[in-house]
Amino acid sequence: MSAGTSIAVVGATGYSGRELAHLLVRHPSVKRPVFFVREGKDAERRVNCVSDLYPELRGRGEAPVLPFSAQAVASSGAPAAFLALPHEVSAEVAPVLLEAGMKVIDLSGAFRFRNPETYADWYRLPPAPAALLGEAVYGLTELYGEQVTGARLVANPGCYPTAAILGLKPLTEAGWIDRARGVVCDAKSGVSGAGKQPKTETHFVEVNENFRAYGVFTHRHTPEVTGHLGLDAGDVMFTTHLLPLERGILATMYVWLAEPREAAEIETLYRSFYAGRRMVRIWPAGQLPELRHVAHTNFCDIGFVLDRDARRLVVVACLDNLGKGAAGQAVQNMNRMFGFEETEGLL
């Protein structure tokens, strides 16, 4: 993809689509994105360009908004497309675009697992074609950046798994965790993580001044977390909570170390593991990040506190669920796929 080339965004009216719009209209290597909306979306008002959808983008170029069909996207002339669609729709659309020679970055869960049975067990949905499941690259560039480069199909990670995996991967890779004692991941998200489709449990009155756990033992992001950390399902207690705020994820992870470690040793491990990965910021030992530190950014901030026994460790990972947890990470993947600087348009 040469500098100044267009790119397609399918699903422009959701929260991730809106975040993509904000990122792409100012991306220096994207001339002008083209946005596609599904039938019935914003049909009550005239929508010709992205600033009709999002008036705050006026003056940043009049990127067109077009009715969606897979064939319309395939014939748009864009060399790549972001799919911000429901899982089952992405599973149908992506093969058409790939057949047309486009690259695809999918923000749903449709291509995140190689095993088709995972979709029946955790998503209660039929899987995408097995050949594409085998081809798709999991788009966590801090771990799989080389595979993302040049890939045709990238499965953007889930927001919760991004925080949990980045927070724990240095420890699991080094074999420092006492797996027999288990791992607890206590994760909390803002309401935008639930998507834009209206639901009773995400209405203002239900969320405001409230705080609750959900999806206990059944959350569909669980196999992402365990699979990419190399942990068995029985090793991890992964529980999600809904925060009464718009955006952000804070994951607090509790582990026992297999043998005593010094705090400086742990900090060195994290800094070495993420050396050169500018979107992950490691905090000094004993200091913990907060949601306000990552809101409206593509950073994942990681901090930890080690108990005086040198065996019990608490790791905190924070990110913006619409940034590093969705649209920002998707742009980071696009940058890798087309040879741009990985942080281009994100800093």
* Non-local CB neighbours of 26 within 8 Å, separated by 6+ positions: 60, 345
159 catalytic per annotation: yes
Alpha helices per DSSP H over the chain = 15-24, 50-53, 70-74, 87-99, 117-118, 130-135, 141-148, 159-174, 204-207, 222-229, 263-273, 328-337
- Neighbour-count burial of 235, counting CB atoms closer than 10 A to its CB (0-12 exposed, 13-18 middle, 19+ buried): middle
224 half-sphere exposure, CB direction, 13 A CA radius: 27
pLDDT in tens, the chain (347 residues): 444 678 999 999 999 999 999 999 999 999 889 999 987 654 445 788 999 999 999 988 789 999 999 999 999 999 999 999 999 999 999 999 999 999 999 999 999 999 999 999 999 999 999 999 999 999 999 999 999 998 999 999 999 999 999 999 999 999 999 999 999 999 999 999 988 887 888 999 999 999 999 999 999 999 999 999 999 989 999 999 999 999 999 999 999 999 999 999 999 999 999 999 999 999 999 999 999 999 999 999 999 999 999 999 999 999 999 999 999 999 999 999 999 999 999 99
**pLDDT at residue 47 in the model:** 85
**Strand, helix or coil for residue 239:** strand
Q: Where are the domains of the chain?
A: 8-135, 160-321
Residue 36: enclosing H or E segment and its boundaries?
A: strand 34-37
- d(C-alpha 124, C-alpha 133), whole Å: 16
**For the structural domain made of 160-321, what CATH number should be given?**
3.30.360.10
- Show the tokens assigned to 187: 């994760």
Place of tokens 């081809």: 135
Q: Using N-to-C axis directions, what is the helix angle for 159-174 and 263-273, rounded to 10°? A: 120
Residue type, 261: R
- Neighbour-count burial of 208, counting CB atoms closer than 10 A to its CB (0-12 exposed, 13-18 middle, 19+ buried): exposed
pTM of the shown model: 0.95
CATH for 8-135 (3.30.2230.10, 3.30.390.30, 3.60.150.10, 3.40.50.720):
3.40.50.720
**pLDDT at residue 2 in the model:** 47
Of the candidates 159, 185, 300, 318, the residue annotated as catalytic is 159
